[in-house]
Amino acid sequence: MARIVAAPEALTYFEARSRVLDAAHAGPEELVPLEQARGRAARRPLVAALALPPFRNSSMDGAAVRAADLALADRRAAELPVAAVIAAGASPSPLAAGSCAWIMTGAPVPDGADAVVPIEELEAIDDADPTRAGGKVRFTAPTRLQANIREAGADVRAGERFWEAGRELSAHDLGLLGGLGQREVLVGRRPRVAVISTGDELLALGEPMRPGAIYDSNRPMLGALLQECGAELISSEHAGDDPTRVGEAIVRALASADVTITIGGVSAGAFDPVKLGLGGVEGISLWRVAMKPGRPQAFGAPSGRLFFGLPGNPASVACVFEALVRPALRKWQGFSQLERPRVDARATHDMESRAGRTDFVRVTLAHRDGAWWASEAGAQISGHVAPQARAHGLLIVSEETPRLTAGQTAPVWVLRWPENE
Ligand code: AMP
Ligand code: MG
Task: For 124-142, write each residue's pLDDT tens digit.
Answer: 999 999 999 999 999 989 9
* Cα-to-centroid distance, 215 and ligand 1 (Å): 10
Which numbered atom of ligand 1 lies nearest the CA of 316? 8
Mean pLDDT, range 351-364, rounded to an integer: 96
Q: Find the 395 Cα to ligand 1 centroid distance in Å.
A: 23
Query: Which residue(s) pair with 327 in the sheet?
Result: none
* Tens digits of residue pLDDT in 8-20: 999 999 999 999 9
Ligand nearest to the CA of 295: 1
Pocket test for ligand 1, best of 205, 275, 278, 313 (most atoms within 8 A of CB): 313
Residues having CB within 6 Å of any atom of ligand 1:
197-199, 201-202, 214, 216-219, 263-265, 267, 269, 311-314, 383
Closest to 243 (Cα-Cα) out of 221, 258, 265: 265
Q: What is the pLDDT of residue 256?
A: 97
- 118 Cα: distance to centroid of ligand 2 (angstroms): 72
The larger pLDDT score, comparing residue 345 to residue 6, is at: 345
At a CB cut-off of 8 Å and minimum separation 6, what does 252 contact? none
Go through 224-240 and write b for each residue having 16 or more CB atoms within 10 A of its CB, e for each that does not.
ebbeebbbebbebebbb
| Backbone torsions φ then ψ of 184, nearest 5 degrees | -130, 160
Ligand sitting nearest the alpha carbon of 214: 1
309-325 average pLDDT score: 98
Instruction: Categorize the per-residue pLDDT at 82 as very low, low, confident or very high, splitting at 50, 70 and 90.
Output: very high
Mutate to test the pocket of ligand 1, among 198, 200, 202, 288 (most ligand atoms within 8 A of CB): 202
Atom 5 of ligand 1: nearest residue by CA position: 312
Distance from chain centroid for Cα 216? 28
CA atoms within 13 A on the CB side of 54: 8
Task: Give the whole-angstrom CA distance, residue 67 versus residue 383.
Answer: 74
pLDDT surpasses 80 at 317:
yes
pLDDT, position 33 = 98
Task: State the average pLDDT for the chain.
Answer: 95
Q: Model's pTM, two decimal places?
A: 0.93
Mean pLDDT of 187-209: 97
pLDDT of 67 strictly over 70: yes
Report the residue among 200, 217, 218 best suited for mutation to probe ligand 1: largest number of ligand atoms under 8 A from its CB. Answer: 218
Which of the ligands is closest to the CA of residue 318?
Answer: 1
Q: What is the mean pLDDT of residues 108-135?
A: 96
pLDDT surpasses 50 at 399: yes
Query: Residues with Cβ within 5 Å of ion ligand 2?
Result: 199, 264-265, 312
Q: Name which of 138, 83, 143, 77 is nearest 116 in CA terms.
A: 143
With b for 16 or more beta-carbon neighbours within 10 A and e for fewer, the 135-169 pattern comes to ebbebeebbeeebbbbebbeebeeeeeebebbbbb
Q: How far is the CA of 339 from the centre of ligand 1 (A)?
A: 25
| 263 CA closest ligand 1 atom index | 16
If you average pLDDT over residues 73-80, what whole number do you get?
78
pLDDT digits (tens, 9 = 90+) for 154-186: 999 999 999 999 999 999 999 999 999 999 999
Q: Which residue has the higher pLDDT, 49 or 1?
A: 49
